[in-house]
Amino acid sequence: MVVRKVVYRLAHKSIIRTTTCFFMTKRLYEFFRVTVSHHTHLFTHSSFKNLKNIAPIMEKSKSVLH
């Protein structure tokens, strides 16, 4: 019975770890996707007018990470 409890506990830990990993990867993917699309947008409209758009983008990237 003790062995079963230990196995259960290990399985539970690994499930939590896998879930955490999955969510972290998903969040990173979202962050990179948003950043890349914004940078592509900036480069396609490479005028000085768009320089003021960089600050909000940085703020948005930060909010995605947290």
pTM of the predicted protein model: 0.40
**In the predicted model, what is the mean pLDDT of residues 41-61?**
64
Q: DSSP alpha helices (H): ranges in 1-66?
A: 2-44, 54-65
Residue 9 has pLDDT above 80, yes or no: yes
pLDDT of residue 37: 80
pLDDT digits (tens, 9 = 90+) for 11-50: 888 888 888 889 888 888 888 888 888 777 666 655 556 5
Q: Which long-range contacts (CB under 8 A, 24 or more apart) does 60-66 make?
A: 60/34, 61/31, 61/34, 61/35, 64/27, 64/30, 64/31, 64/34, 65/27, 65/31
